[in-house]
Amino acid sequence: MSPEPAGIPPLAQRIRGYFTQNDQHPSTHEQALLAEERRRERARIARELHDTLLQRLLSASMQLQVAEGWLPHDSPAKPLLSRVRNLMRKGIAEGRAALQGLRSAEIPSTTLDEALSGFQDELAPNDRARLRIVKRGRPKPVEPAVLHQIYLIAREAILNSLRHSQAEKIEVEIQYAPRKLSVVVRDNGTGIEPQLLHSGRKAHWGLAVMRERAANIGARLRIWTKLYVGTELTLSLPLIHSERLPGSARK
């Protein structure tokens, strides 16, 4: 390293150093430390949610079931309690899905198809049987931070299909073109109503978050849907800016 020219004040030296330092990504070791820190934080949040909110919902649901059993068969309150229990059961199911997402949000492998295959293995048997993952083309290197966002978008699309579409078949197609990576998630379910497609489901931010993630990595997200026919989500990412691996030198 060449010595600093004499007479440059310390602040000027720091400014000069900022503009002349090597423009490179964090080292592999630093990335591993950051990934481990994120994993631990998600695990901590998942534990707290499980031990507080989810357990309270389960306890309340059980008490409602007991109270419903005490009511006379012809009680007008019985249908209301039954509806409340059904709502709580759905809330518990969505909570468990959210916890699963927190615990498995990191990409567990080096390629997108392997990561999604690992996610598929975590699903219930019936959901696993509905999901098919297809890879076309030769995988190309994608920066881990970008790959992570693609994985989260694809996973959210799969979960939306499993939860809301009543689809019998869900297919994920990963296609590597020379300068583009495309991920298509399609199902043969009920489709998405137009107002939900544009504004999202109240208190559910899945579509909005997917669009934000796509915009943040410079990808294009398109959603085609038709009621009672199905939905197709297509994510397209130019690879010209993603082929450089972290830590590699820039020209």
CA distance 172 to 186: 7
At residue 102, the pLDDT reads: 65
| pLDDT for the residue numbered 177 | 93
What local confidence, expressed as pLDDT, does residue 27 receive? 64
Considering the domain boundaries, does residue 11 fall inside one?
Answer: no
Instruction: Looking at the structure, tell me whether residues 44 and 143 fall in a common domain.
Output: no
Same domain, 120 and 84: no
The verdict on residue 18 lying in a domain is: no
What pLDDT, on the 0 to 100 scale, is given for residue 12? 52
Question: What's the confidence (pLDDT) of residue 230?
Answer: 95
52-59 own/partner pairs: CB under 8 Å, 24+ apart: 53/95, 54/92, 54/95, 54/96, 54/99, 57/88, 57/91, 57/92, 57/95, 58/92
Same domain as 119, residue 94: no
Low-confidence ranges of the chain (pLDDT < 70): 1-28, 94, 97-98, 100-110, 199-205, 241-251
Q: Are the CB atoms for 172 and 112 separated by under 8 Å?
A: no
Tell me which residue range forms the domain holding 226. Answer: 112-238
What letter represents residue 99's amino acid?
Answer: L
Q: What's this model's pTM, rounded to 2 decimal places?
A: 0.59
Which residues touch 159 (CB under 8 Å, ≥6 apart)?
97, 101, 206
- The pLDDT assigned to 23 comes to 45
